[in-house]
Amino acid sequence: MITRRITLSTGQGTGLIDLTSRLDEEVAAAGLRRGRLHLHSLHTTLGLILDRMEPVLLDDLIRFNGEASNGHHADGGRGRLLLRPGITALVEDGRLLLGRRQAILAVELDGPRSRELALQLEGEFSAAPTDRELELVELELRRQLLCDPDPMRLPMARLVEAGGKRLRPMVVVLASRLGPAHDPLRAAVLGAAVELIHDATMVHDDYVDEAATRRGRPAVAVAEGPARAIEVGDYYFARATRMIAELGDDEVTRTIAGALETICLSQIDEVALRGSYPGDHATYLQVVRGKTAALIAAACEAGARLGGGGIELAARVARYGELLGIAFQMVDDLLDYSDASGKPIGTDIRQRTLSLPLIYAYEDERAGPLLRRLFAGELDEEAVVRVQELVRQCGALERVAAEARSLIASALEELSGLDPDRGGAALAEIAKRAVDRVS
Amino acid sequence: MSVDTEVLSPDLRHLEIHWEGSLGEAYRAHRHRWPPKLALAAALVETGVGLHGLGRTVPSPVDLLLGDLCLARASRLLANEAGRVVQIAFARAIELAASAPTSGADLPMIRELLGRALEGAV
C-alpha cells in the first residue's frame, strides 16, 4: 500500500474542485495497475463526491448550504450534513475506473483555505524498472537534503515533500534508459539534481511574482521571508550544479548549464515584456521556450547522454522535451480557466502573467477591444470574471488546446522507432498525459 | 582591457551596467592571475552573490534575476572552460555563502574562496 498527502488551495466560499486528473497522475506515478484508491478529507468542511462537474451542481450546493452574501460560512453550513469525508474508486489498467462524465470532486464549504487530503493506493503495482528508478530519485532527493543545515534544508524539504509532478526527473531516467550504458544510480542523481534546480528556480520565481503559495503550501518567501528564500534558492542551485559536476560527464554538465542560462535570460525577458502585456504568439514562444521548455529539453538530452546515447538520440529526445515543455505550459495556461488543477482560477489574469489564451482572445474582433479596456484599469474580482468569460466565449481555449495537441503529436513523432520497453513507451505516455489534463 | 571586453562581450549581455562597476572590478582582480573566461566566471559569482545581498539586504526582483543570471552564466563558463574540481569548488563556495547568514558564521570572503577554487584549475 502507498500512502500520500495531497494539498490544494480552494477559492472563496462554496466550491467544487475536480481532482480526477490529479488522482490519475498519482495512480500512474505509483504504478498501480489494478486495485483501489482511497481518498479522505482531513477537514470537517471539505467533502468528497463522485459526480459530474457542472455549474448547476455548484448552484444547488450553494443554495442548500445557505451561503452568506459574502460567500463565507463560518461552520461550513448545512452542506456538512450531506457530505462524506472519504471516497473509494477502483483502478483498472493503471487508470481510475470512472464513467464518461464522472469525476472525483472535492466540495469546499468554507473557502478559501489550504486543504490536505490523505490518499492510499492498494492493489497490484507495476514492477516496471522505471518505477523503482523513480523511487531512487526520491531517495536521492531525501539523501541530499539530510546533510544540509536546517535553515536551508527545512524550506526545501517542505517543497520537495509537497509533491509536484516530478516530470523532469522522470524524463531524465527514461531518456537515460534509452542509452546502452544506463546506470540507475547515476540517473537518479541527475534526476534529483534537475528537480532541485527546478525547485530552486521556483523559490526565486515566487519572490519575483509575489506568489502566496506553491504546491498548495505557503511559498518559501512568504513562510520564511524573502532573504531566506533567496539563500535557499542559491544554496540548492549550487548543490544541484555540484551534484551534476560530481557525475563527471562534461556533456551532461554543459547541457544543464546551458539550460540554466537560457532560463534566467527568459525570466528577464518576461519581466521586460510586462509593459507590452499580453504580448504576441512569437513573444510567448520565446519566453516559454526558456522558462519551461529549456529545462525539460535539457533533462531529456542530459539523461540520454548520461545513459551513453549518441548525439542523434540526445537531439531527438531534446526536441521531444522542448515540444513537451511548450505544450505543458500551454496546458498550464488553460488550467487557469478551470478548477481541474486545484489552484485558484484566474491567477494568471490577476498577476498579468504571459498566457496564450489571453493573447488569442486579444486577437478576437469582439473580445479584443473589451479586454483592452478591462486591462487598462485596475483588475478587481468582477473584471477578472469578465476576462474569463470573454476568453472562454471567443474560442481561445479551444485554439490553445488544439495547438498543444499538435505539439504533442510532433513530440511523439520524435520518439518513433525508440525501444518502447526501454523508456520510449513511458515517454510517450507522459506526453499524452500532459494534454489529457484538459481533455 | 578593451581586448578582453571584446572577447567577453557575448557573456556580458544584460550585465553591461555591472561591467562598469562591481563586475568589471572583480574581473580585473581575478584577471591578473587567471585566463579571461575563468576570471569572468569568478567575477560573475562574486557579482551574483553581491546582487542577491546575502546576509545584508533583500534585493529587488530585478537584482535577484540579474544575480541568478550571473550564477547561471558562471556555471556555463565553468562547464566549458574548467575541470570538475573547479566546478565543484565553485559550487561549494556558493553553498557556503548562501548558508552563512543563517548559520551564524561570518560571511565568507567569496573572492578568497573562488581564488582558492581556481588554484585547483592549474
> What was the pLDDT predicted at B3?
55
- Residue A232 reports pLDDT greater than 90: yes
Q: Considering only CB atoms, which chain B residues are within 8 Å of A254?
A: 76, 79-80
Residue in the block written with cell 464549504: A109
Closest Cα in chain B to A258: B76
* pLDDT band of A234, cuts 50, 70, 90: very high
* pLDDT band of A14, cuts 50, 70, 90: confident
Q: Which H or E run contains B6?
A: helix B2-8
Separation in Å, CA of A156 to nearest CA in chain B: 13
Range name among A76-80, A189-193, A290-294 with the lowest pLDDT average: A76-80
Q: What percent of chain A has pLDDT over 70?
A: 93
- Residue A342 reports pLDDT greater than 70: no
Cβ separation A239–B72 shorter than 8 A: no
- Residue A341 reports pLDDT greater than 70: no
> Per DSSP, which regions of B21-67 are E strands?
none
B64 touches chain A (CB under 8 A): yes
Report the C-alpha gap between A241 and B87 in whole angstroms.
8
> What was the pLDDT predicted at A334?
92
- Residue A174 reports pLDDT greater than 90: yes
Q: Considering only CB atoms, which chain B residues are within 8 Å of A229?
A: none
> What was the pLDDT predicted at A436?
72
Residue in A152, A204, A238 closest to B64 by CB: A204
Q: Considering only CB atoms, which chain A residues are within 8 Å of B47?
A: none
> What was the pLDDT predicted at A89?
95
Radius of gyration (C-alpha) of chain B in whole angstroms? 14
Q: How many CB pairs under 8 A join A and B?
A: 115
Q: Considering only CB atoms, which chain A residues are within 8 Å of B117?
A: none
Report the C-alpha gap between A381 and B55 in whole angstroms.
39
- pLDDT tens digits, residue range A140-171? 999 999 989 999 999 999 999 887 889 999 99
Provide the residue type at A188 as one letter.
Answer: A
Q: What percent of chain A has pLDDT over 90?
A: 59
DSSP string for A244-313: HHHHT-HHHHHHHHHHHHHHHHHHHHHHHGGGGTT--HHHHHHHHIIIIIHHHHHHHHHHHHHTT--HHH
- Residue A268 reports pLDDT greater than 70: yes
Cβ separation B71–A237 shorter than 8 A: yes
- pLDDT tens digits, residue range B80-104? 999 999 999 999 999 999 998 887 7
> What was the pLDDT predicted at A76?
60
Any idea what the Cα angle at residue A286 is, between residues A283 and A287, rounded to 5°?
Answer: 90
Count of Cβ atoms closer than 10 Å to residue A93 Cβ: 7
Q: Considering only CB atoms, which chain A residues are within 8 Å of B82?
A: none
> What was the pLDDT predicted at A396?
95
pTM, two decimals, is 0.77
* pLDDT band of B43, cuts 50, 70, 90: very high
Residue in the block written with cell 520564511: A224
Q: Considering only CB atoms, which chain B residues are within 8 Å of A231?
A: 54, 98-99, 101-102
Q: Which of A209-218, A399-408, B11-20 has the highest mean pLDDT?
A: A399-408
Residues 69-108 of B with CB under 8 A from A: 69, 71-73, 75-76, 78-80, 84, 87-88, 91-95, 97-99, 101-103
Mean pLDDT computed over A66-95: 73
